[in-house]
Amino acid sequence: MKILENPSITLVKGIKAAGISCGLKKSGKKDLCLIYSEKKAIAAGTFTQNKVKAAPVIVSMNNVKNINTQALIINSGNANACNGEAGYEDALKMTELVSKNLNISPEEVLVQSTGIIGLPLPMEKITSGIESICTKLSKDGGNDAALAILTTDTFPKQVTVQMEIDNKTVTLSGIAKGSGMIHPNMATMLGNLFTDVNISKELLEKIFKESVDNTFNMISVDGDTSTNDMCIIMANGAAENKMIDEENENLEIFKAALNYVNKTLAKLIAKDGEGATKLLEVSVLNGKTKKDSKLVAKSIITSNLTKCAFFGEDANWGRILCAIGYSEADLNIDDIDIHLNSNENSIQVVKNGAGVTFSEESIKEILKENEINILVDLKNGSHNAKAWGCDLSYQYVKINGSYRS
């Protein structure tokens, strides 16, 4: 697998994109994104587990079932959530406007929205924006598209990889947004992947769900699961490799690339958590079951007390052990070891469920780092899991205390 230095979704064969401002954001920044496959494509998706689902989520949950998916329209600055029947009609209207301009069916268009909840979508701006953006689709529009989906993000999140399948170069590329309201089971995040691999819809759905469960569903910024979360993948077959319709070596090659892209995007979201100063990675080893290891990893990464401790650069290992204890995983506290790691150093803070003596000066050097690994050995089996998140800072409260303004 080759990781491209200048990622863009338009490096995928047959994919064009654009990103413009249609006036939804007060700042005047880009707020409308369109991505289009020139060839017919299949799609798979995962969606928020929140019972309050935004209208675009409901529309896309239906449309992703279609045998052909060729376009994705996204607006930022307005979530189109909790707007009743009018919001649903507006989401449908967005698919209809795209379909009319691109000469495809409305059911072949997916729609996403992100931003403030409860504000009616200004459809006059959306209508003129869609008419304009459909004329701007190009092979140079990938970066603009990545920028147009952002809300409180501080940087665009993009990754592109290539691999060889049947002597054909297959490209897989993704963009994502997410900074706050991030929690396992889909977070306030949009993840969108595009590939030219030739694969069956059934297999794509299967491997995509598995990958999302181990990547996007293992990140947390603040414990809130949003109304608009969605992760989509489209595959148009333009690479012309032999159809992957069974679990074989070619599928494993593509799965490895898919997991890498999803994991990278997930970590970028965690790193860009609102007000974050540190990326936290939790590695749980030797759990009794995969579920147990995941429960422990998620419990630690969602513990606000633990996150605050890392912001304060305080080696308060008791908060980590506490989070493990209420995780509901099957484990024995008296067996657990915990290490805090940076790229250069590792210090054990817990052995067999009890604290050990360590140098406060040495551990401070680890806690000053921008990326910290929390290694937990349950010594209870052979199953591992990872989760990603960030510290919780004063700036998080400031950002979310004035989000609407």
Q: Could you say which DSSP state residue 8 is in?
A: -
Structure tokens given for 142:
């990938």
| Rounded (10°) CA dihedral 54, 60, 61, 63 | 150
Q: Are 182 and 273 in contact (CB under 8 A)?
A: yes
Q: Is 338 helix (H, G, I), strand (E, B) or coil?
A: strand
CA dist 165 → 24, 78, 193 (Å) = 42, 40, 18
Q: Report the 10 Å Cβ neighbour count for 54.
A: 29
Residue 355's contacts (CB-CB under 8 Å, 6 or more residues apart) are: 317, 318, 349
Of 308, 315, 320, 306, the closest CA to residue 358 belongs to 315
CA separation for the pair 235, 261 (Å, rounded): 15
Of residues 95, 188, 264, 306, which has the active-site annotation? 188
Q: How many CB atoms lie within 10 A of CB 157?
A: 26
**How many Å apart are CA 403 and CA 392, to the nearest integer?**
17
Residue with tokens 């691109």, as numbered in its chain: 102
Strands (E), 148-290: 157-165, 168-178, 189-195, 219-220, 230-235, 279-287
In sequence order, the β-bridge partners of residue 158 are: 175
Within 10 Å of residue 87's Cβ, how many Cβ atoms? 22
| 188 in active site | yes
- Looking at the DSSP bridge assignments, the partners of residue 42 are 235
Q: Which residues are catalytic?
A: 188
